Amino acid sequence: MKLQGYKRSNGSVGFRNYVLVMPLTGCNMEIARRIAAAVPGATCLGHPHGCDMQMKDFELFGNILEHFVTHPNIGAVLFLAMGCAASLSLHLPAKASATGRLVKTLNVVQGGTTRTVEAGIKIVQQMVEELHAVKREPVEFSSLVIGTKCGASDANSFSHCHPVVGRACDLLVEKQATVVLAENCELVGGAQHLAQRASTPEIGAKILEMADEVNRGWKNRFGVSYDDFAQKNTNLEFFIQRSLEHVAKAGTTPIRGFFDMSEIVQGPGLVILDTPNTDLESVTCLAAAGCNITIFTTGRGTPIGSPAAITVKITATEQTFKNMEENIDLCVSGVIDGKETIDQAAQQVVAAVIKSANGELTKAEKLGHWEVAMPIRGVLY
């Protein structure tokens, strides 16, 4: 199967051409949501911040917002300002415009809720019409930047779903795609194993330093290192095994890069992004790092999506799929009862990724799930 996407001026490729409605302060979050919800083809980056973060937190916040407004899947941005938010200093409209995006700004204090929503809907509708004139072009598989995430995992996630998705990731890496492994806490138990898979000693050292930093952070915040906490509640062997079962969803290829959550990842191949383990923060960081698609595995089910990255949700638990079929894109429970092999199920995952990249809407997109949560260093893990 071939890929069709939208080529951006910086060389990246998007597989959507969304209009993003972004409040520059959390005070405008509800207004932004109302505008985006009224127009097919629009999404909303709803966040409660803009004035409340300081120094390093504000720097990270600014990086993430900038990466969203210049995300490969975003073709236009409507900003909602109030004139008083600290985030005005980030100059986000100018940065988005400089990359060729369509950009407009509305000041909420000049119109209030109802008039701003009405004006915003008209602007976004016009932007969507303009973006419809932009046609997809043939692109290479190296254009795919695939985030991997697990949430509400169950036993089937570890025994079957992660091996299936991992095999799919190996197949995508063979095609020169980039695959991103995140969730730093989940990697701590397997850090030595991951370091051995690093393609250079420098990358291996960064992986081990990440694990040390998680342990230091836990010690400072909770009075006990993550290693000690996990082993106290299980044992060392299980701690390592469970970590490797989390890692399995990203495949078995060498690790060719390590990136902070403030950075845009570079591929091709398998790379690590140092993000919190918590679902919303991790998914937010994956999108901000340039992932145009995220594969999200779940055991018990989850509804979340992203305002920028296409989110493909997969489970190996048949009952979960029945319960949440409107939210979950693919069920690979056939590998449990022997109806299909891991390789066969992996091909289904690859096919689902390609179909979604070429324009087939995922369940999260159809339902308008645009969840976002900003990470805070040393607070969220």
| Reported confidence tier of residue 83, pLDDT bands at 50, 70, 90 | confident
Read off the pLDDT of each residue in 190-199 and give the average, rounded to a whole number.
97
CA-to-CA distance for 137 and 145, rounded, in angstroms? 17
Pairing type for strands 293-298 and 310-315 reads parallel
pLDDT at 379 over 80: no
Q: Are 26 and 48 in contact (CB under 8 A)?
A: yes
Whole-number pLDDT of residue 52: 73
Inter-CA distances, 143 with 166, 289, 354, Å? 19, 14, 12
Global pTM reads 0.96
pLDDT in tens, 127-170: 999 999 999 999 999 999 999 999 999 999 999 999 999 999 99
Whole-number pLDDT of residue 272: 99
Whole-number pLDDT of residue 152: 96
pLDDT at 373 over 90: yes
**What phi and psi, each to the nearest 5 degrees, are found at residue 17?**
-130, 55
CB-based burial label for 9 (10 Å; 0-12, 13-18, 19+): exposed
Whole-number pLDDT of residue 184: 95
pLDDT at 380 over 80: no
Which residue would you say has higher pLDDT here, 53 or 315?
315
| Reported confidence tier of residue 267, pLDDT bands at 50, 70, 90 | very high
CA-to-CA distance for 13 and 11, rounded, in angstroms? 7
Pairing type for strands 74-81 and 18-23 reads parallel
Helix, strand, coil % over all residues of the chain, rounded to 5: 50, 20, 35
pLDDT at 224 over 80: yes
Length of the chain as a residue count = 381
Neighbours of 250 (CB within 10 A): 27
pLDDT in tens, 331-360: 999 999 999 999 999 999 999 999 999 999
CA-to-CA distance for 145 and 161, rounded, in angstroms? 20
Compute the mean pLDDT over every residue in the chain, rounded to the nearest whole number.
95
**Where is 55: in which H helix or E strand?**
helix 55-69
pLDDT at 363 over 90: yes
pLDDT in tens, 241-262: 999 999 999 999 999 999 999 9
**Least-confidence region, from 82-86, 310-314, 362-366:** 82-86
Place of tokens 């089910």: 301
Read off the pLDDT of each residue in 271-298 and give the average, rounded to a whole number.
98
Whole-number pLDDT of residue 234: 79
| Preceding amide of 375 cis, omega within 30 | no
Domain limits, the chain: 18-133, 141-367
pLDDT at 221 over 90: no
pLDDT at 232 over 90: no
pLDDT in tens, 24-72: 999 999 999 999 999 999 999 999 888 877 889 999 999 999 999 999 9
Read off the pLDDT of each residue in 109-127 and give the average, rounded to a whole number.
98
| Reported confidence tier of residue 270, pLDDT bands at 50, 70, 90 | very high
Q: What angle do CA 360, 364, 281 make, to 5 degrees?
A: 125
CA-to-CA distance for 222 and 208, rounded, in angstroms? 21
Read off the pLDDT of each residue in 206-215 and give the average, rounded to a whole number.
96
pLDDT at 197 over 80: yes
| CATH hierarchy code of domain 18-133 | 3.40.50.11900
